[in-house]
Amino acid sequence: MKKRIAILGASGYTGAELIRLLLLHPEIEIKALTADSQAGKKMREVYPHLDFAGLPDLIPLSAVDYSLIDIVFCCLPHGTTQEVIAALPKHVKIIDLSADFRLANVDTYAKWYGHEHLAKDLQKEAVYGLTELHREAIKKARLVANPGCYPTSAQLPLMPLLKDKLIESDNIIIDAKSGVTGAGRAAKQAMLHTEVNEGVGAYGIGAHRHAPEIEQGLSEAAGKNITVNFTPHLMPMNRGILSTIYVKLTKGKTVDDLKNSLNKAYAKEYFVKIAAQGITPTTHMVRGTNFCLLGVFADRLEGRAIIVSVIDNLVKGASGQAIQNMNIMCGFAENTALTQTAIFP
């Protein structure tokens, strides 16, 4: 019997990307799509490229009959999700694509998101869904907190290296660049074509909300508290993230040690790949896919290395990883509906 799916907040980019990918999934049926201001519309009115799909109409959040739903993908804005999820029936499995359950420490959440956590007991139940590094916990989870896009690109290369004690923990610099879909679909002056095109800009300098999420995972891997220097940038492209990460090698270690560590950590993984010698990862190489491609390079500064990590922010950074987690929760093959190769050019 197919799993019955509801997507809450289906009119945003992550909701549309979930639909695009789930239409290829043989084991699920999309039963409900919700929206706020778009409620009452057909999906093709919001996203004409989905016209052929035979999807249900968009309905208000309050109109979902959860007795007919097995799995919910929650794509609601940060700060609105906790109370919604807390009210869902216990039989429903949940993959939350907002930031509302990513931070295990509710005080840290309050500090960075500006309000008290509204579902503290449920937070204790949430499993952080960085799939390759938390697979066993995800298998048994009811609620998975899908990671942020920047944290996915940063943690996948850094956590194995910290665990193996190959890099210093107090000198990590993450310079990350994202396409404009990372800012969502809501109309914003800063996201207008004329504001973004032909320019690159840093934002959230020293204060981006993904910093504590990155530090949470890296601290777990290192076994001690870690603080990173993380700066995101907005690029004039639709999708993709490229993180250039600068690290200091621990004494006696080499770039080859880093490569060997990552190759060992991800040797059996379908979606995390180490670039071949001479290849520098670019966002085009993963566009439209659920892959993370990593490259490791010697810095000209002795004892330092540069790591390049690329993902598609809407797929491995959001909707694709959410489906990967659902597949694990349901016992499906992990790559079901996610085997696409990159769209190029």
In contact, 9 and 34? CB cutoff 8 Å:
yes
Query: DSSP state, 126?
Result: -
30-83, pLDDT tens digit by residue? 999 999 989 999 999 999 999 878 899 999 999 999 999 999 999 999 889 999
What are the CA-CA distances from residue 344 to residues 33, 124, 282, 283, 303 (Å)? 30, 42, 12, 10, 36
Distances (CA, A) of 281 to 207, 243, 260, 294: 27, 10, 18, 7
123 HSE (CA, 13 A, CB side): 20
The CATH class of 149-313 is: alpha beta
- 321: nearest Cα among 29, 95, 7, 123: 95
The C-alpha atoms of residue 255 and residue 306 are separated, in whole angstroms, by: 9
Q: What are the tens digits of pLDDT across the range 267-318?
A: 999 999 999 999 999 999 999 999 999 999 999 999 999 999 999 999 999 9
- Which candidate in 75, 149, 292, 330 is catalytic? 149
DSSP output for 203-267: -STTT-THHHHHHHHHHHHHTS----EEEEEE-SSSS-EEEEEEEEBPTT--HHHHHHHHHHHTT
Q: Which amino acid is at 100?
A: D
Query: Does the predicted model carry a pTM greater than 0.85?
Result: yes
Task: Write out pLDDT tens, residues 157-184.
Answer: 999 999 999 999 999 999 999 999 988 8
Is 75 catalytic? The answer is no
- Nearest CA among 35, 56, 139 for reference residue 93: 139
The overall average pLDDT reported for the chain is 96
Task: Collapse the DSSP code of 345 into the 3-class scheme (helix H, G, I; strand E, B; otherwise coil) and give the result.
Answer: coil
| pLDDT tens digits along 298-310 | 999 999 999 999 9
Query: Two tokens at 324?
Result: 């990967």
CA 157, CA 153: separation in Å to the nearest integer? 7
Residue pointed to by tokens 């999807």: 55
What pLDDT is recorded for position 164? 98
**Number of residues written out for the chain:** 345
Residue spans of alpha helices (H) in the chain: 13-22, 43-46, 81-86, 106-113, 120-125, 135-139, 149-163, 193-196, 210-222, 255-265, 320-330
Q: Residue 337 region, left (φ>0) first, then alpha (ψ -120 to 50), else beta?
A: left
Closest alpha carbon to 10 in 59, 63, 67: 59
Domains 3-147+316-330 and 149-313 fall in the same CATH topology: no
Q: Where are the domains of the chain?
A: 3-147+316-330, 149-313
Which CATH number describes the domain made up of 3-147+316-330? 3.40.50.720
